[in-house]
Copies of this chain bind each other. A is one copy, B any other.
Amino acid sequence: MPKRVDHAERRTQIAEALVRVAGRRGLHAVGMRDVAAEAGVSLRLVQYYFETKEKLLLYGLQHLAVRFGERVTARARSAGTAPGPRATVESLLLTSLPTDEESRAFHLVYTSYAVLSVTEPALAAQPFLQQPGAAEDVLTDLLSQAAAAGLTTPDLDPRLEASSLLALSAGLGTSILVGHRTPDSALTVLHHHLDRIFAGPERD
């Protein structure tokens, strides 16, 4: 067998090029030629590693979801050793906010995918768009633990609060994205909401 290149690595390289150019010019405006140019390869290679554009998009979204998961856990770890429930919750939510340029691009592309999935069944059927469901489970667990430890407002409904927090973060995120709100003001809103949930003296 000849040259043998690492396909997974190459696909990742191209997928990240896709995400970059989509974050810059919008997902609707990315063509295979743009992705090829951004990745520094020829159009033919993009075709070679992803036969069709749809597969490229699908892989791009999948890659984005994975990277997002890594971001969350990385941020959660760097939050310090044995962080309190509130700090954990906060770091989880803050990670999904488009604060720096990278997370901005991330949020934009992910939202674009979500909007596309409404009218394209092939996208909606993909599992990674259901990641919010998983996040809700994790959040619900965290809130349950906090409630059991007496750190929260009494009579707290963990799942309901988790839904509320996620929807709020998502809304704040898109607000920042479209320029209706600054990251700081979003942080204020989020902190205020968390203050209502966590009654204890814990602070980030």
Please report A residues at the B interface, Cβ cutoff 8 Å: 24-26, 28-29, 108, 111-112, 114-120, 124, 129-130, 132-133, 157, 160, 163-164, 166-172, 174-175, 177-181, 185-186, 188-189, 192-193, 196
Oligomer copy total: 2
User: B170 contacts A193, CB within 8 Å?
Assistant: no
List B contacts of A132 (CB < 8 A): 175, 180
User: B115 contacts A111, CB within 8 Å?
Assistant: yes
User: A192 contacts B160, CB within 8 Å?
Assistant: yes
Q: Which chain B residue lies CB-closest to A162?
A: B189
User: B185 contacts A175, CB within 8 Å?
Assistant: no
Shortest CB-to-CB span from A132 to chain B, Å, is 6
Bound form: Cα–Cα A10–B129 in Å: 40
Known: A178-B124, A178-B129. A118 touches B164 (CB 8 A): no
Bound form: Cα–Cα A89–B132 in Å: 28
Q: Pick 25 A–B contacts, CB within 8 A, sort by A.
A: A26-B118, A26-B119, A28-B116, A108-B119, A111-B115, A114-B178, A115-B178, A117-B178, A118-B178, A124-B179, A130-B180, A163-B181, A164-B168, A164-B189, A164-B192, A164-B193, A167-B181, A167-B186, A168-B168, A168-B171, A169-B171, A170-B170, A171-B171, A174-B174, A196-B196
